[in-house]
Chains A and B, each alone.
Chain A
């Protein structure tokens, strides 16, 4: 399969890239790792007159902690995230997530920014970033703006990014002590999208009760689904089986899956409940709770 024709641009600075996007507007697409965009163009499900490759702009690939935040450069490859000691030790939810994105060959090119900017509810980072309470940094013609992740996913393949904006950084608040997270995905085989998946990040208080809970689901709605209802059910409670079961039930209620070859609506909703339970329990264990 060969994509329809387009013009290719390889700017070497961010301002040059933004200028190209401004000039070509809706006809232009940002090419990051290309692992979602190129298949779409090849299958001709998508079309672009201009591709603006941000792969030759220096300074967009990094993973570091700074100012109480984890900062991930928008063009950081998934494989770099996977190999980062910092991620493995301090952000187990992100390590869980990156390990189940596509396959190792795809992860050598796919980028964290691309996984979010694509706006595919089947992608894995979106739910994780919702659970973590991340922020997305976008650079456009009028400079930089910070978008809270809760305001980022607007619909199927639609995000808050404007056509002339580039996702340059993802910021995640560094977890306080007694925090833990987990991402649990059900997939038919390596490389498949999730039948369902659950992302959970918690912080426990000194008394062992939940201080903060972030819970979101993958691929069970037109956007990643954050369940505040489930989160609210846990705040101030101790992580008992009953409390976790109630929260997982509320999370499944918040989902709106569509039937496909991965399963029926009922099956997917039930899997969302089971995976939310498992992710909650794993997050609590990692936070040093029971």
Chain B
């Protein structure tokens, strides 16, 4: 089985790796690049804990091959904070208590970022639909929705 030399732009910086065909994107991020903010939850395409943005679209990185990301852009939770300041979505989760155990949070944050980059004023229904592929077993989603609404308002002020 041949390995493949790939280049992936992760959070704005080009990174190279030699990968086996079967390596999953989430393992590339966590193990090769040591970006462990992206979590592995169910590992069966259900829970969304491993959500990252691939060319700006939220996807489940446990169900993408690392080689498929060759030449493409990946954004992970590590890229949200800028100059020591939380991203408005992170700030929202902090302010509105949008997490308890925190396991689903990186995925929730990335899905929220993608939603807010295409919709400035999402309705509660838009938010519920957008995060319907991200499971949270602690919060009952109420605070997560408030967190995303907080972030939407913050981003509109900019």
A residues adjacent to B (C-beta < 8 A):
1-8, 10, 31, 34-35, 38-39, 41-43, 51, 53, 55, 79, 102-106, 108-109, 190-191
A8 touches B4 (CB 8 A): yes
Q: Smallest distance from the beta carbon of A45 to chain B beta carbons, Å?
A: 11
- How many A-B residue contacts, CB cutoff 8 Å? 89
A31 contacts which chain B residues (CB < 8 A)? 65, 68
A103 contacts which chain B residues (CB < 8 A)? 48, 132-133
Known: A42-B44, A103-B132, A190-B132. 17 other contacts (CB 8 A): A2-B22, A2-B27, A5-B20, A6-B22, A8-B65, A31-B65, A34-B65, A38-B45, A42-B62, A43-B44, A102-B133, A104-B129, A105-B133, A108-B54, A108-B57, A109-B59, A190-B133
B27 contacts which chain A residues (CB < 8 A)? 2
Interface size class on chain B is 20 to 34
Task: Mark each residue of chain B from 45 to 66: 1 if its CB lies under 8 Å from any CB of chain A, else 0.
Answer: 1101001001001111011110
- Chain B residues 122-158 with CB under 8 Å of chain A are 129-130, 132-134
B-side binding surface: helix, strand, loop or mixed?
A: mixed
* Residue of A whose beta carbon sits closest to that of B3: A8
A-side binding surface: helix, strand, loop or mixed?
A: loop
B24 contacts which chain A residues (CB < 8 A)? 2, 38, 42
State in angstroms the CA–CA spacing of A150 and B60 once bound together.
33
**Which one of A7, A106, A191 contacts B21 once the chains associate, using CB atoms below 8 Å?**
A7
B13 within 8 A of A: no
A5 touches B64 (CB 8 A): no
Q: In the complex where A104-B130, A105-B111, A106-B133 touch, is A42 in contact with B4 (Cβ < 8 A)?
A: no
State in angstroms the CA–CA spacing of A271 and B130 once bound together.
28
A109 contacts which chain B residues (CB < 8 A)? 54, 59-60, 63-64
25 A-B residue pairs with CB within 8 Å: A1-B43, A4-B22, A5-B1, A6-B22, A34-B68, A38-B24, A38-B45, A38-B63, A39-B45, A41-B22, A42-B24, A42-B62, A42-B63, A51-B21, A53-B67, A55-B68, A103-B133, A105-B58, A105-B133, A106-B60, A106-B63, A108-B57, A108-B58, A109-B54, A109-B63
